[in-house]
Amino acid sequence: MDPSPPWIAPFFLAHVGCPHRCVFCNQYLIAETASPPSPLEVGEALKALWRSRSPEGKKRRQVAFYGGSFTRMSLARQEAYLDVCRPYVRRGWVDSIRVSTRPDQVSERQLAFLAERSVRTVELGVQSLSDRVLRASRRGHTGKEARDAILRVRAMGLDAGAQIMVGLPEDTGTESLETVEELVGLKPDFVRIYPLLVLRQTELADWMRRGVYTPLGLEEAVSLCARMLERFERASIPVIRVGLQEQGGMGREGGDVMAGPYHPAFGHLVRSALFLKKVVASLPREIQSASTVCLRIHPHDRSLLVGDRRQNLGKIRDVIEDREIRIEEDQGIPRGTVECEIEGQRAKEKGKRDQG
């Protein structure tokens, strides 16, 4: 799978094909619409989108159907949605189509049907691989079904994506980390990590009111997601999103989110927390004899180094005590990495060599 992000023409099919509603789910709030677009409306929207958002310069281009369980719709309805997209594939305007669905709704026959109609990517709502957590969340499928689905999608030659959540009922954090380890072994082509937020008009909201469920705090969720992200990075599995995309009134007081680790830049918090860990790990033992610590980073990583409200810089200063920090940007440094030099130590060692 090409690691560069594709140009996406997105369509949200809220609750379409879902056999029931999970305790945490209210996709109508996320989608900001009372009903999903019809195939005809998708076709009209594609025409307008192509005129207003030219994907020039993007190596990959996809039409994506998010939300709901695409493969649980009737074959006739699936085909109606896919047929309005296929002319764009035939003309080379887009490369393929992406769909989201449940792990228990991807038989070999269903996947063959999708592959024949230009679908290249199947995102699976895994959420967790713990059966206890899945039961508590009323997902309606097992961890084994999710594992088998990932392998089946990949065996068909399609890209498999796995969406997982942290903070689910009965998940102590250990279950999330175990899910990550299992996914590393299954090797999906990409992953999304979502913190569980308590949305209004959900069963989870009622549980919270009655004291049956307590959501994760922001700091706890960021720390856990940073550990998960680090493990996926070590396994070279792309994490294409951390945190829900900002929609409508999610963040406003009295809005859709009642509780949970909400932050409009949650993904940035997680990635900057992991970057701080990398910086501290890069500090050499000889730092005590240094006067200046030079951190060399890729220019696009400056915000990760600085952190939200410059908190990372403050924490780095606590570690290096009264030493000066100097930041150098270098296009040659790989994204997400840092190189550290202690300049006082180098000058001292150079002086010794010159005297010798």
pLDDT per residue, tens digit, the chain (356 aa), is 555 677 899 999 988 888 778 999 886 665 555 588 999 999 999 988 877 766 666 668 899 999 889 999 999 999 999 999 999 999 888 899 999 999 999 999 999 999 999 999 999 999 999 999 999 999 999 999 999 999 999 999 999 999 999 999 999 999 999 999 999 999 999 999 999 999 998 999 999 999 999 999 999 999 999 999 999 999 999 999 999 876 555 554 457 899 999 999 999 999 999 999 999 999 988 887 788 999 999 999 999 999 999 999 999 999 998 789 999 999 999 999 999 988 775 433 332 323 33
Q: Are 106 and 121 in contact (CB under 8 A)?
A: no
Beta-bridge partners for 9: 63
Q: Which residues contact 334 (CB under 8 A, 6 or more apart)?
A: 298
User: Parallel, antiparallel, or unpaired for β 119-127 and 96-101?
Assistant: parallel
Position 206, amino acid:
D
H/E stretch holding 31: helix 27-31
Q: Are 162 and 191 in contact (CB under 8 A)?
A: yes
pLDDT of res. 11: 95
What's the pTM value of the predicted model, to 2 decimals? 0.90
pLDDT of res. 287: 80
Q: Are 104 and 143 in contact (CB under 8 A)?
A: no
Percent helix, strand and coil across the chain, each to the nearest 5: 45, 20, 35
CA angle, residues 96, 1, 146, in degrees to nearest 5 = 85
Buried b (16+ CB within 10 A) or exposed e, 115-135: bebbbbbbbbbbbbbbeebbe
Q: Which residues contact 112 (CB under 8 A, 6 or more apart)?
A: 156
User: Of 63, 56, 60, 26, which Cα lies nearest the Cα of 42?
Assistant: 63
pLDDT of res. 245: 74
* Number of Cβ atoms within 10 Å of the Cβ of 248: 12
pLDDT of res. 164: 98
pLDDT of res. 244: 85
Dihedral of alpha carbons 40, 45, 50, 55, sign = negative
36, two tokens: 């999903």
CB-count burial class (<10 Å; 0-12, 13-18, 19+) for 310:
exposed
pLDDT of res. 349: 32
pLDDT of res. 57: 63
pLDDT of res. 56: 64
Alpha carbon distance 278, 337 (integer Å) = 7
pLDDT of res. 288: 77
57, two tokens: 């310069």
